[in-house]
């Protein structure tokens, strides 16, 4: 059976002057799926999202969302799509409640009819007590949660979140994750971008790793990690560990050096540990490979500001 595609992008491209912000991306998100777009700052994630709702014009490729072409039907698509932007776009001069009903009004939902839905959503994101608060008195986490509630006002079929948890404390982040899981189990299709690999591993059925406008790999996070990194990672920290490494010759290990740390990527750590111990090496860290390893291996370790 071919699942229905809520997002179908082929060869999607976008340049700003000479900069290819998005460079020929194929992106398919099935109905009911949660897809995570990962990538360092400047990879082009936000630009992809802006093209999805018609805020940025693509220069090339095909893009259809919820079954319609974005170029010709962007406004209609937005009637069934919720967007949580990377930057706060709340109405700072209005209260929490007014923000919600004014936004409902943008969708043509009259105030009386939106009332119950607003109560429901404020409760969902735990902001009920703040309903008459001015936006400027909310914390960063509360603003993010309100943005999420606002994006759900019209019961969208597709929810797009651009870095929904950046800058949140762990409590707020876990609340957002919880809510997103609930929405997903209710059948909502979700596309999110994130820097938090744990977030992507926990929430996403599939992830795509972007860098410099290109999609490098794509797949279920656990599979990707197993195929591309291995099962386990052993970290050896500190200088002068060449002797230890020499003991590992012949194992065909994938070794990466970054600063003062050696990363050994392997299928199984048992034999490596044995060799290290018998070479007199006792200070190392053995842990399961994670999405973060994959991410760093693919996109490099240098800083992107």
Partner 1 sequence: MNAADMIPSRRALRVWLRHLVQYRSFYVAEWAGNFGEHALYLLAFGYGLGRLVPSLNGISYAQFIGPGLVVSIAMWTSTFESTYGAYNRMRIQKTYEAMMSAPLSLGDIVFGDLLWCGTRAIVGATLMMIVLGLFGLIGSPWALAVMPIIFLVGLMFGSLGLVSAGIAPSFSFFSFHFSLVVMPMFFFAETFFPLKGLPEGLRLFSQMLPLTHAVKIVRGLIIYGRVDDFLFHLFVLAGCTLGFMVCATVSVSRRMTS
**Binding region for ligand ADP (CB under 6 A):** 16, 19, 21, 39, 41-47
* Terminal C-alpha separation, the chain: 43
132-136: long-range contacts, CB 8 A cutoff, minimum separation 24: 132/95, 132/96, 132/97, 133/95, 133/96, 134/92, 134/93, 134/94, 134/95, 135/90, 135/91, 135/92, 135/93, 135/94, 135/95, 135/96, 135/99, 136/92
Which of the listed partners (partner 1, ligand ADP, Mg ion, none) does 42 bind, with a CB threshold of 5 to 8 Å by partner kind? ligand ADP
Nearer CB in complex with Mg ion: 50/154: 50
Which of the listed partners (partner 1, Mg ion, ligand ADP, none) does 39 bind, with a CB threshold of 5 to 8 Å by partner kind? ligand ADP
Closest approach, Cβ 89 to partner 1, in A, equals: 4
Closest approach, Cβ 19 to ligand ADP, in A, equals: 6
Task: Say how far apart CA 140 and CA 264 lie, in whole Å.
Answer: 39
Task: Say how far apart CA 21 and CA 17 lie, in whole Å.
Answer: 10
Contacting residues toward partner 1, per CB under 8 A:
16, 50, 53-57, 71-72, 74-76, 78-79, 83, 85, 87-94, 98, 102-103, 105-108, 151
Nearer CB in complex with partner 1: 138/151: 151
Closest approach, Cβ 81 to Mg ion, in A, equals: 18
Nearer CB in complex with Mg ion: 31/214: 214
Stretch that binds Mg ion, among 39-47, 65-73, 119-127, 210-218 (CB under 5 A): 39-47
Is there a contact between 196 and 209 (Cβ–Cβ < 8 Å)?
Answer: no
Paired tokens of 15: 């340049």
List, in order, residues 6 or more apart from 125 with CB less than 8 Å away.
145, 146, 148, 149, 175, 179
Is residue 46 a contact point for Mg ion (CB under 5 A)? yes
Paired tokens of 110: 């009259």
Closest approach, Cβ 242 to ligand ADP, in A, equals: 38
Nearer CB in complex with ligand ADP: 56/94: 56
Closest approach, Cβ 33 to ligand ADP, in A, equals: 21
Q: Applying CB under 5 A, which residues contact Mg ion?
A: 45-46, 86
């Amino acid at each position: 059976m071919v699942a229905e595609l809520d997002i179908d992008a082929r060869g999607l491209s976008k340049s700003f002057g000479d900069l290819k912000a998005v460079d020929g991306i194929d992106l398919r998100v099935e109905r009911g799926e949660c897809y995570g777009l990962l990538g360092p700052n400047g990879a082009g994630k936000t630009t992809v999202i802006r093209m999805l709702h018609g805020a940025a014009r693509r220069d090339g490729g095909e893009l259809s969302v919820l079954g319609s072409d974005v170029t010709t039907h962007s406004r209609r698509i937005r009637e069934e799509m919720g967007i949580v932007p990377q930057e706060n776009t709340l109405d700072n001069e209005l209260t929490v409640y007014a923000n919600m009903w004014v936004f409902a009004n943008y969708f043509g939902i009259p105030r009386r009819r939106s009332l119950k839905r607003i109560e429901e959503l404020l409760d969902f994101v735990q902001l009920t007590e703040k309903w008459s608060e001015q936006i400027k008195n909310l914390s960063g986490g509360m603003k993010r949660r309100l943005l999420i509630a606002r994006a759900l006002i019209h019961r969208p079929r597709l929810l797009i979140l651009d870095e929904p948890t950046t800058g949140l404390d762990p409590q707020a982040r876990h609340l957002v994750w919880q809510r997103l899981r609930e929405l997903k189990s209710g059948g909502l299709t979700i596309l999110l971008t994130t820097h938090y690999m744990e977030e992507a591993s926990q929430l996403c059925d599939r992830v795509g790793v972007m860098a410099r406008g290109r999609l490098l790999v794509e797949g279920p996070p656990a599979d990707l990690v197993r195929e591309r990194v291995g099962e386990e990672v052993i970290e050896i920290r500190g200088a002068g560990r060449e002797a230890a490494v020499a003991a590992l010759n012949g194992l065909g290990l994938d070794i990466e050096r970054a600063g003062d740390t050696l990363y050994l990527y392997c299928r199984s750590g048992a034999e490596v540990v044995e060799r290290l111990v018998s070479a007199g090496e006792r200070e190392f860290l053995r842990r399961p490979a994670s999405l973060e390893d994959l991410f760093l291996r693919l996109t490099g370790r240098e800083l992107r500001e």
